[in-house]
Amino acid sequence: MKINFIDLKAQYQEYKQEIDSEVLEVFTNAQFIGGEKLNTLEKNLATYIGSKYAIGCSSGTDALLLSLMALGIGSGDEVITTPFTFIATAEVIAFLGAKTVFVDIEEDSYNIDPKKIEDVITDKTKLIMPVSLYGQCADMDAINEIASKYDIPVIEDACQSFGATYKDKKSCNLSTIGCTSFFPSKPLGAYGDGGAIFTNDDELAIKIRMLLNHGQNERYKHKYIGINGRLDAVQAAILNVKLKYFDNEVKTRDEIGSRYSELLKDSDVITPKIAEFNSSVFAQYSIRVKDRETMIEKLSLKEIPTAVHYPVPLHLQEAFENLGYKKGDFPISEEVSTQIMSLPMSPYLKQEEQDFIVQAIKGN
């Protein structure tokens, strides 16, 4: 049985008529940057999340970068985050000349452990940036409480958790700023790169809009040094169509993720643990196995694709060796990184495909 890791083709066929029509309208009107499609998307995103502002941008990475820039993060500043995430989280910190300060993760959620954050706060700490990994939010109330105590802003890296909830509140609207990604494989994906920034702060929203358009406050008048971080109209048009059906896909993702966990509960693998106050969008369905390479090979022989998110924690990456961390500094991240692997996951995964995957894992 040939199984897709993520079935983007099936999704496109589902919405093909509407997507094609919206994209053709962009081509016909020849308004490729900004305009009605982007304005509509931003309004729809803000309504969906419940935030005052939603600002479309060129990628999830740029969403993080622009947010740090808007908060004035730079040389000499320290930013607290997790070492168990995609490199973009810490990459943007280093890019601005600030210092990344890592904190280990919780073993169950794989998100940053709030109980360990306060130990690394110094007078140079200017930001806390938790990651809502694999589609589940970090413990944002606990993080925000610490941040409030020290008067530090919080950016939620929600690049994998758009559509998830934390205590009945939407991811991306849980802190000073929320950032997400619309990379094609994300729960809400474009057909190219894209991202969005969410905030309820008037001044930050104004500044971010300027920063993503070369720092302009009006044409050819530049208040800040900015970047070209705009989201194009084609991607906005596609996302507007997909957003209409997104809640149904989130529901299906939850059903598939829960079914995986139920079917695998009597196996030797460790399944994701979703906190009682959370819902997950299962951006990945990731299990832990003691002998990962053997499991990957076993599934590969049955044409079942897998992926590893993430095999090397950031504190052990060559790019961050200047930070002076060493093996053993973050033992939970290090252990999880040797065991974690992701299974096929999309709203279009059929039950018979899921059964086949589970049977292969169990050795049947």
Q: Tell me, yes or no, whether 176 and 207 share the same domain.
A: yes
Q: Is residue 162 one of the residues assigned to a domain?
A: yes
Q: Tell me, yes or no, whether 250 and 240 share the same domain.
A: no
- Which of 184, 217, 244 is the last residue in one of the domains? 244
List the CATH number of the domain containing 272: 3.90.1150.10
Q: Is 265 exposed, middle or buried (0-12, 13-18, 19+ CB in 10 A)?
A: exposed
Cα dihedral: 283, 287, 293, 299 (round 10): -80
Per-residue model confidence (pLDDT) at position 360 = 96
Q: Tell me, yes or no, whether 348 and 224 share the same domain.
A: no
Nearest to 156 by CA among 174, 181, 182, 183: 174
**Beta strands of 145-215 (E only): which ranges?**
155-157, 165-166, 169-170, 177-181, 195-199
- Which of 244, 276, 305 is the last residue in one of the domains? 244
Q: Is residue 334 one of the residues assigned to a domain?
A: yes
Query: What element of type H or E holds 127?
Result: strand 125-128
Per-residue model confidence (pLDDT) at position 2 = 85
Q: Give the tokens for residue 31.
A: 């308004």
Q: Tell me, yes or no, whether 148 and 176 share the same domain.
A: yes
- Taking residue 262's Cβ as centre, other Cβ atoms within 10 Å add up to 11
Across the chain, which has 364 residues, the per-10-residue mean pLDDT values are 93 98 97 96 98 98 98 98 98 98 98 98 98 98 98 98 98 98 98 98 98 96 98 98 98 98 96 97 98 97 97 98 98 98 98 97 84
Q: Tell me, yes or no, whether 226 and 297 share the same domain.
A: no
- Which of 217, 244, 271 is the last residue in one of the domains? 244
Question: 359 to each of 29, 265, 287, 298, 352, how far by Cα in Å?
Answer: 51, 13, 15, 11, 10
The total number of structural domains that make up the chain: 2
Q: Could you tell me if 223 and 215 are in contact, meaning their C-beta atoms sit under 8 angstroms apart?
A: yes
List the CATH number of the domain containing 212: 3.40.640.10
Contacts of 66 (CB under 8 A, 6+ apart): 57, 197, 208, 211, 212, 227, 229
| This prediction's pTM | 0.97
Q: Is residue 2 one of the residues assigned to a domain?
A: no
Q: Tell me, yes or no, whether 240 and 270 share the same domain.
A: no
Per-residue model confidence (pLDDT) at position 364 = 61
Half-sphere exposure of 280 (CA within 13 A, CB side): 27
Q: Tell me, yes or no, whether 75 and 163 share the same domain.
A: yes
Per-residue model confidence (pLDDT) at position 363 = 86
Using CA atoms, how far apart are residues 345 and 306, in angstroms rounded to an integer? 10
- Range(s) of the domain holding residue 310: 246-362
Q: Could you tell me if 173 and 198 are in contact, meaning their C-beta atoms sit under 8 angstroms apart?
A: yes
Q: Tell me, yes or no, whether 224 and 106 share the same domain.
A: yes
Q: Tell me, yes or no, whether 293 and 306 share the same domain.
A: yes
Give the end-to-end CA distance of the chain in Å, rounded to a whole number: 14
Amino acid letter for position 5: F
Q: Tell me, yes or no, whether 180 and 136 share the same domain.
A: yes
Per-residue model confidence (pLDDT) at position 49 = 98
